[in-house]
């Protein structure tokens, strides 16, 4: 029973609601139906009573005449008419005594009603005399003129009324049931809607209870429950935030506690016993947890130097903390590790605890040492690198620089380590500083050429590269800066550009045409002259691609041999040939234009090994024509010259044979004269008178003189034919040699020779020697009568030309005859004064002239003479 009640009235609001609604419905509907039935019953009864009374009265009034007249048949008719009323049990009309005058059941007429007197006691009026659930009977007096003459009785059956009432009851019950059903349904529906939000709230609450705070309750209504839901959600959010915060804090703590990076040990201050440790701490000390918890460090013999522990504890008590102390600890395995530890005092539930935070720094120390070492290695490498390198730490302090760096930036032998880059170079601009920062963030940066204006105004061009360097932990430890001073290169570049420009101008201003072709390209480069030379039409024909030119031009070699396109000079050069004065006939195919071009050219290989051909073009059309003419003229001239030369050669030959004949045949008679005169003198001399002997001697002298004349003349004529060499001649040496040769002529005399320093001359040594011999012997000869002869040999410089001179203090000559001086056989002295043939000076002049020099003389009779001569062309006064 209670289970049912619980089920009905249990924790389910919805069910409660439904049950309540159903119960209320049921109660109200029952009451309503009951009341309705009762009211219907009353109503039906009253209506039945009224109906029966009314029927009785109607019967009484309708039957009054019949009774008075005692018309029984009429009465019976009236009553028969009443029989149609099926609810009418009976209708009776009685007389005052109770005799039945008429009855709906005619068989009862004449009978008496037994209850007549009992009922009819009292005043005659209509009344209900008998009433039950099944029937009702009313009686009404039949009154005529105030006198009761009888009674009308009507009894009605109430069973139809009962039936109706039952029907009403049933209907009411049916309605009640329907109402209950509908009510229940709607209650369900209603409660479903109303309680949905509630149920959600409930589920939410359940989740909260289960600590699931992630999911807020959806708000589906706008009513108070919705409002409550929202408030609930907010509360839940707050709760969740708090929980998250709490959890985060917890997690943080937990993370901290279980961190792999630091070891944590919490110990009781009072007895130094360990309360809790994390795994890392255990890793550090190498003991299992159970051997650490509840024990002291001293018990574990953890400290290699126990004293350090005591110091720590003292510090902890005095200052409340120990900060970043390192110590060596001994692990369980006996291995010694370096540990860095801090201890803080914390309060746990009112008890003082020590919180040790320990880190194993063995590795870090080792790495630091290694890093130090590797850094030093890098620094050392940088220092000796043959490039400008600098290494910085994160604060742009120098760690190392290369010698080259110091040199490039004129820093001498400074030790930059520890100094900040920007203090060394205050002129560094923001752009570079920015680059340094980016590099420190891990970027590699470079520039191919940056202008760096130094504080002293000099400008350097730098190529640089910035690279971060990394520590063993992988963090950027700083920057390595590489720089290269490319100032020189920049200058060279500029010079190259200028040279290029000059070259370009030269090429443009060349009168020679120049065409440049590349091995793998059809584009040609033309200079202005080349374009003009080809008389291209205005539409830039020269810009066509190479193969197009074969449609434009036809090239042929002398003899009209047409060159195939691939044999054109430009291709020959491209294929490696070196051309020089390659004359080609060039003709336009589309118009009347033809020229003769002389091509030259060679190819060079560029950096990629591709050939570049440079072809020079000279228009030799006019030149060829001119040359042709010159050639013609030359040929004529040559023919004439040949003719003349032949004539000359013939004359020369004749002269030679003449000279030869003279030399041999002219002398033969002289020899006979001389020889036989001698023979006479030898054989017959003693027999001859002195006069005769003298004649013979005169004959001999004459013959000898004739011989001398012939010799000199031959020598003189030889000079014209002898080939001339031109070599440097040491004149000083030559003069002293001449003086030696002439010594026999003056060995018995006292002559003062003054020889100056003489410059060399260019000429034929043998011939020049003849000049000097002749002039010197003249000087010796013509000073023959001087007691103190003096011969001065020197040099003058006239307009920079060398003029040799020989001055004597001899007989001299009359300047009036100076023009005869150098003539053949011309003598200014008698033979008995000074011997001579008169050919010597003629020979001298001829030699000097043949050398292109001049000779002249100055003299005064009896005052000596000076002979001047030059050897080189055009020297001396004319």
Partner 1 sequence: MSTVNGVEVLLVEDNEEDLRLALRSFRKANLTNRIEVVRDGEEALNYIFCQGTHSSRRIEDVPRVILLDLKLPKVDGLQVLQKIKADPRTSKIPVVVLTSSKEQTDVVKSYQSGANSYIVKPVIFESFVKAMQEVGMYWLLLNEPYR
Shortest distance (Å) from residue 714 CB to partner 1: 7
Pairing of strands 445-453, 561-562: unpaired
Nearer to partner 1, 360 or 674 (CB): 674
If the CB atoms of residues 68 and 681 are measured against partner 1, the closer one turns out to be: 681
To the nearest 10 degrees (0 to 180), the angle between helices 731-746 and 765-782 is: 40
What is the closest distance, in whole angstroms, from the C-beta atom of residue 840 to partner 1 in the complex?
17
In angstroms, rounded to a whole number, what is the distance separating the alpha carbons of residues 496 and 503? 10
Q: How far is the CB of 672 from partner 1 (least distance, A)?
A: 4
Q: Does 686 bind partner 1 (CB under 8 A)?
A: no
Cβ closest to partner 1, residue 164 vs residue 676: 676
Scan residues 714-753 and list those touching partner 1 (CB under 8 A).
Answer: 714
Output the smallest distance, CB 711 to partner 1, in A. Answer: 6
Q: By C-beta, is 620 or 768 nearer to partner 1? A: 768
DSSP letter for each residue of 222-252: -SHHHHHHHHHHHHHHHHHHHHHHHHHHHHH
Q: How far is the CB of 706 from partner 1 (least distance, A)?
A: 13
* Element holding 36 (H helix, E strand): helix 13-68
Tell me which residues in 68-97 interact with partner 1 (CB under 8 A).
Answer: none
Nearer of residues 385 and 700 to partner 1, judged by Cβ: 700
Q: Give dist(CA 453, CA 451) in Å, integer.
A: 6
Nearer to partner 1 (CB atom), residue 410 or residue 661:
661
Residues 608-627 that bind partner 1 (CB under 8 A): none
Minimum distance, C-beta of residue 733 to partner 1, in the bound complex (Å) = 23
**470 vs 660, which CB is nearer to partner 1?**
660
Q: Measured from the CB of residue 664, what is the shortest distance to partner 1 in angstroms?
A: 5
Minimum distance, C-beta of residue 826 to partner 1, in the bound complex (Å) = 23
**Mutual angle of helices 13-68 and 159-209, in 10-degree steps:** 170
CB of 705 to partner 1, least distance (A): 16
Q: How far is the CB of 715 from partner 1 (least distance, A)?
A: 9
| Shortest spacing between CB 661 and partner 1, in angstroms | 9
For the bound state, the minimum distance from the C-beta of residue 767 to partner 1, rounded and expressed in Å, comes to 13
Q: Quote the Cα angle for 65-62-125, to 5°.
A: 95
Q: Which DSSP helix (H) or strand (E) runs through 603?
A: strand 594-605
Nearer to partner 1, 665 or 748 (CB): 665
Which residue, 678 or 693, is less far from partner 1 as judged by CB? Answer: 678
Q: Residue 251 or 679: which CB sits closer to partner 1?
A: 679
Cα angle value 89/94/95 (rounded, 5°): 175
Tell which one of 408, 711, 730, 872 touches partner 1 (CB under 8 A). Answer: 711
Q: Nearest Cα to 116, choosing from 134, 92, 143, 135?
A: 92
CB closer to partner 1, 189 vs 766: 766
Give the residue among 643, 654, 817, 806 at the shortest CA–CA distance from 721.
654
The two structure tokens encoding residue 818: 């100076």
**Token digits of residue 333:** 């395995």
CA distance 555 to 565: 8
Query: What distance in Å separates the CA atoms of residue 588 and residue 41, rounded to the nearest whole number?
Result: 143
Looking at the Cβ atoms of 377 and 704, the one nearer to partner 1 is 704
Q: How many CB atoms lie within 10 A of CB 835?
A: 13
User: Could you tell me which residues come within 8 angstroms of residue 446 by beta carbon, excluding any fewer than 6 positions away?
Assistant: 463, 464, 465, 466
For residue 67 the two structure tokens come to 């009774």
Q: What is the per-residue binding string for partner 1 in 666-685, x denoting contact by CB under 8 A?
A: -xxx-xx-xxx--x------
Helical pair 667-684 and 690-721, crossing angle rounded to 10 deg: 160
Of 663 and 777, which has the nearer Cβ to partner 1?
A: 663
Where does residue 573 rank: exposed (0-12), middle (13-18), buried (19+ CB within 10 A)? buried
Comparison of 288 and 675: residue with beta carbon closer to partner 1: 675
CA dist 371 and 477 (Å) reads 10
Distance CA 768, CA 850 (A): 11
What tokens appear for 635 in the block?
A: 């040929």
x-or-dash string of contact with partner 1, 403-442, rule CB under 8 A: ----------------------------------------
Q: Within positions 642 to 671, which residues make up the interface with partner 1, using CB under 8 A?
A: 660, 663-664, 667-669, 671
Cβ 655 to partner 1, closest distance in Å?
13
- Binding to partner 1 in span 848-867, by CB under 8 A: none
Residue 137 or 674 having the CB closest to partner 1: 674
Order of strands across the sheet with 263-268? Answer: 274-277, 263-268, 351-360, 336-348, 321-330
User: Which two three-digit tokens encode residue 658?
Assistant: 């003449």
- Residues in contact with 615: Cβ distance below 8 Å, sequence separation at least 6, in sequence order: 514, 515, 516, 517, 569, 570, 573, 579, 599, 600, 601
859: closest CA among 826, 823, 813, 821?
813
- How far apart are CB 680 and partner 1 at their closest, in Å? 11
Secondary structure element (H or E) that encloses residue 447, with its range: strand 445-453
CB of 782 to partner 1, least distance (A): 26
Nearer to partner 1, 485 or 674 (CB): 674
- CB of 653 vs partner 1, minimal distance in Å: 14
Query: Number of residues in contact with partner 1, rule: CB under 8 A?
Result: 14
| Angle in degrees, CA 52, 54, 60, rounded to 5 | 100
For residue 390, which of 359, 425, 346 has the smallest C-alpha distance?
425
Give the interface with partner 1 as residue ranges (CB under 8 A). Answer: 660, 663-664, 667-669, 671-672, 674-676, 679, 711, 714
């Amino acid at each position: 029973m209670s289970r049912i009640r619980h089920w009905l009235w249990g924790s389910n609001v919805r069910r409660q609601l439904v049950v309540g609604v159903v119960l209320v419905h049921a109660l109200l509907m029952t009451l309503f139906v009951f009341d309705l039935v009762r009211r219907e019953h009353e109503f039906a009864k009253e209506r039945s009573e009224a109906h029966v009374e009314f029927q009785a009265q109607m019967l009484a009034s309708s039957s009054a005449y019949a009774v008075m007249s005692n018309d029984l048949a009429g009465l019976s008719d009236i009553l028969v008419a009443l029989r149609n009323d099926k609810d009418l049990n009976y209708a009776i009309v009685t007389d005052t005594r109770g005799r039945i005058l008429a009855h709906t059941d005619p068989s009862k007429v004449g009978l008496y009603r037994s209850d007549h007197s009992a009922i009819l006691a009292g005043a005659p009026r209509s009344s209900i005399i008998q009433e039950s659930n099944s029937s009702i009977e009313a009686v009404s007096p039949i009154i005529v003129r105030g006198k009761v003459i009888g009674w009308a009785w009507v009894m009605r059956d109430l069973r139809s009324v009962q039936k109706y009432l039952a029907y009403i009851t049933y209907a009411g019950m049916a309605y009640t049931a329907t109402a209950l059903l509908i009510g229940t349904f709607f209650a369900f529906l209603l409660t479903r809607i109303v309680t949905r939000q509630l149920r959600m709230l409930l589920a939410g609450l359940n989740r909260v209870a289960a600590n699931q705070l992630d999911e807020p309750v959806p708000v589906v209504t706008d009513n108070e429950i919705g409002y409550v839901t929202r408030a609930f959600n907010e509360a839940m959010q707050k709760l969740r935030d708090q929980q998250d915060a709490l959890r985060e804090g917890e997690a943080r703590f937990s993370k901290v506690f279980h961190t792999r990076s630091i070891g944590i040990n919490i110990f009781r201050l009072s007895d130094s016993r360990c309360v809790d440790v994390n795994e890392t701490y255990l890793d550090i000390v190498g003991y299992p947890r159970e051997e650490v918890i509840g024990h002291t460090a001293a018990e574990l013999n953890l400290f290699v130097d126990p004293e350090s522990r005591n110091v720590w504890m003292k510090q902890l008590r005095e200052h409340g903390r120990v900060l970043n102390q390192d110590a060596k600890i001994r692990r369980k395995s006996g291995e010694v590790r370096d540990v860095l530890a801090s201890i803080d005092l914390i309060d746990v539930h009112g008890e003082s605890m020590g919180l040790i935070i320990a880190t194993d720094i063995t590795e870090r120390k080792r790495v630091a040492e290694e890093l130090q070492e590797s850094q030093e290695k890098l620094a050392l490498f940088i220092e000796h690198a043959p490039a400008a390198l600098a290494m910085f730490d994160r604060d742009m302090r120098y760690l190392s620089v290369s010698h080259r760096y110091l040199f490039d930036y004129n820093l001498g032998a400074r030790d930059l380590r520890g100094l900040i880059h920007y203090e060394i170079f205050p002129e560094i601009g923001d752009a570079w500083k920015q680059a340094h920062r980016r590099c420190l963030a891990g970027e590699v940066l470079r520039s191919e050429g940056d202008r760096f204006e130094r504080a002293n105004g000099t400008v350097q061009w730098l190529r640089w590269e910035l690279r971060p360097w990394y520590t063993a932990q992988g963090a950027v430890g700083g920057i390595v800066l590489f720089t290269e001073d490319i100032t020189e290169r920049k200058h060279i570049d500029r010079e190259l550009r200028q040279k290029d420009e000059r070259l370009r101008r030269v090429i443009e201003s060349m009168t020679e045409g120049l065409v440049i072709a590349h091995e793998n390209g059809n584009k040609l480069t033309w200079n202005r002259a080349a374009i003009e030379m080809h008389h291209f039409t205005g539409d830039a024909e020269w810009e066509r691609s190479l193969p197009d030119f074969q449609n434009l031009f036809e090239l042929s070699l002398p003899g009209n041999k047409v060159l195939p396109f691939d044999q054109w000079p430009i291709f020959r050069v491209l294929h490696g040939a070196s051309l020089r004065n390659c004359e080609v006939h060039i003709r336009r195919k589309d118009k009347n234009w033809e020229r003769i071009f002389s091509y030259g050219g060679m190819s060079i290989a560029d950096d990629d090994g591709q050939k570049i051909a440079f072809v020079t073009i000279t228009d030799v059309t006019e030149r060829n024509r001119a040359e042709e003419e010159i050639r013609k003229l030359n040929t004529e001239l040559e023919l004439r010259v040949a003719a003349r030369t032949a004539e000359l050669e013939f004359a020369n030959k004749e002269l030679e044979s003449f000279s030869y004949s003279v030399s041999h045949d002219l002398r033969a008679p002289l020899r006979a004269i001389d020889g036989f005169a001698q023979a006479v003198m030898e054989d017959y001399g003693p027999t001859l008178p002195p006069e005769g002997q003298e004649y013979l001697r005169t004959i001999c002298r004459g013959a000898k003189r004739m011989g001398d004349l012939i010799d000199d003349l031959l020598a003189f004529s030889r000079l014209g034919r002898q080939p001339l060499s031109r070599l440097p001649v040491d004149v000083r040496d030559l003069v002293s040699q001449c003086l030696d040769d002439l010594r026999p002529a003056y060995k018995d005399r006292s002559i003062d020779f003054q020889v100056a320093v003489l410059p060399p001359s260019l000429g034929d040594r043998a011939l020049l020697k003849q000049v000097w011999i002749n002039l010197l012997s003249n000087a010796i000869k013509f000073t023959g009568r001087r007691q103190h002869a003096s011969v001065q040999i020197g040099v003058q410089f006239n307009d920079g030309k060398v003029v040799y001179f020989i001055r004597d203090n001899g007989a001299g000559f009359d300047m009036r005859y100076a023009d005869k001086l150098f003539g053949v056989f011309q003598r200014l002295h008698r033979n008995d004064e000074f011997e001579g043939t008169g050919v010597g000076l003629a020979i001298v002049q001829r030699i000097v002239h043949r050398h292109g020099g001049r000779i002249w003389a100055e003299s005064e009779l009896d005052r000596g003479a000076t002979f001047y001569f030059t050897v080189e062309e055009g020297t001396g006064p004319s």
